[in-house]
Structures are given as C-alpha cells and as structure tokens.
Homo-oligomer: A and B are copies of this chain.
Amino acid sequence: MQAKRLNIRTTQAMQFINIDRQLNEIIRESGVQDGLCVIFVPHTTAAVTVNENADPDVVRDLTKEINKIVPFNDSYSHAEGNSAAHIKSSMIGPSITLVIENGRLVYGTWQSLYFCEFDGPRSRSCIVKVCPD
C-alpha cells in the first residue's frame, strides 16, 4: 500500500507534536483492519516517539532532560550549529513500528505518537506506511 506523507509545521526549536489524529485518519482511509503502521521521519534533526498524552508536564520534562543529556552547545565541530539535534535524532530514533488492530492503532491507555522536532521551527514531513496483514 502506497506510503503517505504528512506535513508538519513546527513552531519551536524543540517540540513534541501529537500526530495521532492524522495517523488514525490515514489508517481509516486505508480501510486496513489488521496490520502494521511504520512511521519514518525523513529528517536528520527530528525523530518519533510514543509517550504520555495526558499530562503535558511529561513532554515538558522529556524536553528539559533530553537537553541536559545532549546540550545545545558542547564544542561540536559541525558548522551548521545543530549537532545536538542530530544526536537527539539518533538517540530517540527516526522510525517506529506500531500495530493496527480492528482498524485502530494498538496503544496503552495514555499513549500517543509524537513527532519530535529538535531543530525547529521548520516545515517537516513524516512518511506513514500502512501494511495490511
């Protein structure tokens, strides 16, 4: 099944954007009841992850702590000045595989998928491939 492109406009340097609504729409339109959903980020300074959608403090803490683990400035060599974003991208990862059941993503109670912007604001995209059983 043809992969779909999501367009995402980020507005901050670092931002976690819940894209469940768009994913569920793609799955619904595909008509697929059971299968896999692979989300791939075609950028080297962004990523995808699954985490809690209930308390916005979780994403706030995630942002703050990742910036502590990978500081924005740390005598990097890359002249573009966004090495920290490249490192975060590999640490969180640009690809994730989810399970589709009964036409819906299989999630725990509090889970959502987040597009992770590490070098925004930018116009981004996301590849979504639905693979029926």
Contact present for B131 and A40 (CB under 8 Å): no
Tell me, yes or no, whether A60 is within 8 Å of chain B by CB: yes
Residues of B within 8 A of A49 (CB): 90, 93
**With A69-B70, A91-B92 as contacts: A61 and B83 at CB distance below 8 Å:** yes
Q: What's the number of copies of this chain in the assembled complex?
A: 3
Binding site for B on A (CB under 8 A): 1-3, 34, 36, 38, 40-44, 49-52, 55, 57-58, 60-62, 64-66, 68-70, 74, 76-80, 83-84, 86-87, 89-99, 101, 106-111, 127, 129, 131, 133
Q: How far is the CB of A116 from chain B (nearest CB, A)?
A: 8
Q: How far is the CB of A133 from chain B (nearest CB, A)?
A: 6
Q: How far is the CB of A114 from chain B (nearest CB, A)?
A: 8
Residue of A50, A57, A69, A84 ringed by the most chain B CB atoms within 10 A: A50
